[in-house]
Amino acid sequence: MQRYAVGIEFCGTNYRGWQTQQAGVVSVQETLETILSKVANHRVDLHGAGRTDAGVHATNMVAHFDSDAERTDRGWLMGCNSQLPSDISIQWIKRMDDDFHARFKATARRYRYVIYNAPARPALLHKQVTHIYHSLDILKMQQAAKKFEGTHNFESFRAAACQSNQPVRTVSHCTLTQHGAFLILDIQADGFLHHMVRNIVGCLLEVGQAKYDVEHIDAIFAAQDRKAAGVTAPADGLYFIQAYYPTQFDLPQIMLGPQWLNWPN
């Protein structure tokens, strides 16, 4: 059996998240496994670097699978992409040793959240960004974003349904940049809790709307209670953009997706 790593781009609007769920619920993982199994001519189980919520997108979700089918890399790519729905695409494939695991070998994961701050809602970016028509204090939001860097107990920022054993995470960077009407939050951590990024964005938006001061973020952390934090931001603007691995695996570290998502910090 040969192990393969793949980089996957998908628009999550039509899916109930990455992970395969109960019968009748369409997921990205199950959709990919169905097509990979056809190309391989045997059942294929796909393991992703992380899980995404319903409606969340990805530009480079790393996953792996095993197969004894004799296919060239081009054969895998062309065979799968010709049969996948138009909102899912395998961008690259790489043959790996058996010790690679897309989830357990990942050392960090990175998301970007895109806000479109303008009076009128966008049409061409429907379900691709989160539209906020309120005037926002960007400087205070940027100051508040820095509060999330470092090692913290994120109990107040995870969903009640979160299955993680413990809520402590280390965030290496959390920065908010403005590009015209676009606000892009870039956040990287050793791991993320259920709804963690969306709950952080919800709090930043409340700071931007002057519902509370920047220092109130400290009180939310201290409460260790989901009820202390703000509303959960919509899934539309959230993108899984990278998973990071030890250098010996030599995986492509690329940011794909629309050009506006690739703007530098």
What CA–CA distance (Å, rounded) separates 263 from 177? 9
Decide if 53 is catalytic.
yes
Beta bridge pairs of residue 89? 9
Question: How many residues in the chain?
Answer: 265
Which residue in the list 45, 53, 186, 218 is annotated as catalytic?
53
Nearest to 264 by CA among 165, 255, 29: 255
216 to 53, 158, 168, 209: CA distances (angstroms): 27, 17, 19, 13
216-225 long-range CB contacts below 8 Å, 24 or more apart? 217/144, 217/147, 217/148, 218/147, 220/156, 220/157, 221/147, 221/152, 221/153, 221/154, 221/156, 223/156, 224/153, 224/155, 224/156, 224/167, 225/155, 225/156
Q: Residue 76 in contact with residue 89, Cβ under 8 Å?
A: no
Which residue type does 25 have? V
User: Which residues does the annotation mark as catalytic?
Assistant: 53
